[in-house]
A and B are shown apart, each in its own frame.
Chain A
């Protein structure tokens, strides 16, 4: 009888302790405001306002003045635009995100389309694909020793725009797969849209990929 009472009291005490702890935690956890300077001097405030306007203008000036390309790798969409308006939208194919390991485990490739800011570094008509090592490994073939054995024509479409590290915006033989993430990192575009992008983009045109 006494034992049961002791257990009951102990449990109640423990529960009370937990409630107190939770209460203290809740009070402590209340969101605190951001610490900002407290200066109500109207002159100082006007100065801050003017400085903010200058900063915002500086930020605005960082965006490209001429046409640029935005690629949404999640939705497989390409938009060619200026600061004010869209010039062209296209359904594309971006990187599959798959992994390829070289037998023996020496090298690994992750087929992602890179993200960030890039620019058109090269423009090629009737591009020839110089197959990289991973293409041979993926096909289960031996990596050739001669460079000429890597050449493959007619697979990149009519045009290609290089944006560094072997990545290109190029055409495709698999137009039915446009809109799906199926590439090895390059951006595949349909024939008609590719021609328009090729014509509108110059060397140095900025590319933003996210």
Chain B
């Protein structure tokens, strides 16, 4: 599957998404889907039994959902996605860390020095608009999910070109180095329609949250 027209002349255009490979057009495609749905239901049941929030990334359906007790609390549509490396394991993964160039900073409250200071009100909150829209989720098992919005404007497009180069040159080399060290590696590049969706995902996914990445 080609990621975009610009890649047409790429020497190795076999960039494929796990989803497409997993649900190949062979006769076994339907059978595999049944197995995957069964596995997903099994894994989700285990997560839904706990009182914590969890996420499900459905690669073929291009959806990211935040759930609790089987209910979808919020869902985001993926505009496009690409992948390199091993398929993520079909079991619960933990979010080890979120990495971004400019992480949001919490404001430190200075205790009031006087009654007047205490009465003065200053709105200094960490809000959704302060969240980054471009970041990487590091999941257990060597899985990296690169989240970014669709580039709009000159500088975001320039950044997007940089990302394109990094994705097609640097990430495969990284995968190579992980392979040499016999460590698992998979990278998923997720492009979202809106900047706000990325910010909402950054907000909604606290470190430690568990979830599933499934080729369905």
Interfacial residues, chain A to chain B (CB-CB below 8 A): 21-40, 45, 48-49, 51-52, 55-56, 58-60, 62-64, 70, 72-75, 96-101, 103, 110, 115-117, 137-141, 177, 180-182, 208, 210
Contact = CB atoms under 8 A, between A and B. Distances in A.
A35 B83 CA distance: 16
Contact of B31 (A40, A73, A98): A40
B114 A140 contact: yes
A116 B52 CA distance: 5
B69 A62 contact: yes
B46 to A, nearest CB: 10
Given A48-B35, A62-B70, 8 more contacts: A30-B84, A32-B85, A33-B18, A34-B90, A52-B41, A70-B73, A100-B108, A208-B73
A40 B52 CA distance: 36
B-side interface size class: 35 or more
Kindly name the residue among B14, B42, B109, B215 whose own CB sees the greatest number of chain A CB atoms within 10 A.
Answer: B109
B162 interface: no
Given A96-B124, A140-B118, A210-B204, A23 B11 contact: yes
A56 B11 contact: no
Contacts of B215: 33-34
A29 B172 contact: yes
A113 to B, nearest CB: 11
Given A34-B87, A59-B44, A181-B125, A26 B172 contact: yes
Contact of B108 (A27, A98, A115): A98
Kindly name the residue among A29, A30, A72, A74 whose own CB sees the greatest number of chain B CB atoms within 10 A.
Answer: A29
Contacts, number: 194
A152 B83 CA distance: 56
Contact of B107 (A56, A70, A72, A98): A98
B99 interface: no
Interface in B150-202: 168-169, 171-173, 175-176, 179, 186, 199-200
Contacts of A116: 51-53, 68
Contacts of A99: 106-109
B49 A62 contact: yes
Nearest to A140: B112
Given A33-B87, A138-B109, A74 B203 contact: yes
Give me the 4 closest cross-chain CB pairs, A-B, nearest first: A97-B126, A55-B41, A33-B21, A140-B112
Kindly name the residue among A30, A31, A74, A100 whose own CB sees the greatest number of chain B CB atoms within 10 A.
Answer: A31
A30 B73 contact: no
A177 B123 contact: yes
B111 to A, nearest CB: 5
Nearest to B71: A63
B68 A210 contact: yes
A29 B176 contact: yes
B179 to A, nearest CB: 6
Contacts of A39: 31, 35
Interface string B101-117: 00000111101111001
A108 to B, nearest CB: 10
Contacts of A38: 28, 31-32
A59 B113 contact: no
B85 A98 contact: no
A75 B66 CA distance: 15
Interface in B10-25: 11-12, 14-18, 21-22, 24
Nearest to A73: B203
B108 to A, nearest CB: 5
Given A74-B128, A116-B52, A138 B112 contact: yes
Interface in B67-97: 68-71, 73-74, 83-88, 90
Contact of B173 (A21, A45, A140): A21
B106 A110 contact: yes
27 contacts: A22-B172, A25-B172, A26-B11, A28-B175, A29-B171, A30-B15, A33-B24, A36-B32, A38-B32, A56-B41, A62-B69, A63-B70, A63-B71, A72-B74, A96-B125, A99-B109, A100-B111, A110-B106, A116-B52, A117-B53, A117-B69, A137-B111, A140-B113, A140-B114, A180-B123, A181-B126, A182-B125
